[in-house]
Amino acid sequence: MVELCRVDDRMLHGQVAVTWVNQVAPDAILIANDEAATNEMSKLAFKMAKPAGVKLAIKTVKDAAVLLNDPRTKKTRIFLIVRTVQDALELAKATGNQITTVNIGGVKKKEGSRQVAANVHMDDADIDALRELNSLVDKVEIQMVPSESKTDVKKII
């Protein structure tokens, strides 16, 4: 069961490993990103950042969808972390209604993007994917850390 899906271009780092894991209280963290799943250095860094007592899986987006659709994971509290809105959208489409809440965290500036919130930059393709994602899940919110107030994504799309 996906407790929370977080979009964060750094994926698993100190802020996520400490504050968000404490907030979500997952049994497992699932990092879904094609590049991370095939990069041994990234996998090692994520394994080192993983909090004790929490399982970690690093999968391609396609393999993450297979894992989330496996009936054996239904009783596992999963904190799903993706790098892009497009990854979140692909998983929301592939897993039915398993993803209900999406948290947008840090999304760095890239060519053609604009700042839509503090520490969140998106281009037109990201905004289009965000609109579609918002139509598939219950809530999409922007929030860097749990102690900050949430911003409903509808305010920026």
Q: Which of 9, 10, 13, 60 is catalytic?
A: 13
Residue 46 structure tokens: 């994520």
Secondary element (H or E) of residue 86: helix 85-94
Q: Which positions ≥6 away from 36 have C-beta within 8 Å? A: 11, 42, 43, 46, 58, 83
Active site residue 121: no
Q: CA 66 to CA 70: how far, in whole Å? A: 6
Give buried/exposed letters for 21-60 (b at 16+ CB in 10 A, else e): bebbebebbbbbbeebbeeeebeeebeebbeeebebbbbb
State the catalytic residues.
13
